[in-house]
Amino acid sequence: DIVMTQTPLSSPVTLGQPASISCRSSQSLVHSDGNTYLSWLQQRPGQPPRLLIYKISNRFSGVPDRFSGSGAGTDFTLKISRVEAEDVGVYYCMQATQFPWTFGQGTKVEIK
């Protein structure tokens, strides 16, 4: 199985300041079709997960542009340019390049 490792596991951030989460996979996430199926999900407290970013850097419909994704191969990053109160929650990366699909362990973003 592909292991997804996120850092940090906890990220206290000041409102209006940036935040960055790293996700590293144990092997390349480049699919045989040439795409890289790395997505980012947000889970607010008491809510189901919500898709933020798909295929490394594509923002899903309705996602604010303060969220951005980047990376390639085995190293990926989610950035929040200016953290707002509604961004509090746990963020997961997920790979769907190879079965079984796997998630990172989650990064908790909280306000300082």
Partner 1 sequence: EVQLVQSGAEVKKPGESLKISCKGSGYSFTSYWIGWVRQMPGKGLEWMGIIYPGDSDTRYSPSFQGQVTISADKSISTAYLQWSSLKASDTAMYYCARLPDIAVADYYFDYWGQGTLVTVSS
Q: Which residues bind partner 1 (CB under 8 A)?
A: 1, 31, 33, 35, 37, 39, 41, 43, 48-51, 54-55, 60, 90, 92, 94, 96-97, 99-106
Six token digits for residue 83: 């953290």
Of 16 and 48, CB closest to partner 1: 48
Find the shortest distance in angstroms from Cβ 26 to partner 1: 16
Q: What is the Rg, in whole angstroms, of the alpha carbon atoms belonging to the chain?
A: 13
Is residue 37 within 8 Å of 106, Cβ to Cβ?
Answer: no
1 vs 111: CA distance, rounded Å = 34
Of 33 and 65, CB closest to partner 1: 33
Find the shortest distance in angstroms from Cβ 111 to partner 1: 20
96 contacts: CB under 8 Å, gap ≥ 6: 37, 39
1 vs 100: CA distance, rounded Å = 6
Of 19 and 52, CB closest to partner 1: 52
Find the shortest distance in angstroms from Cβ 35 to partner 1: 7
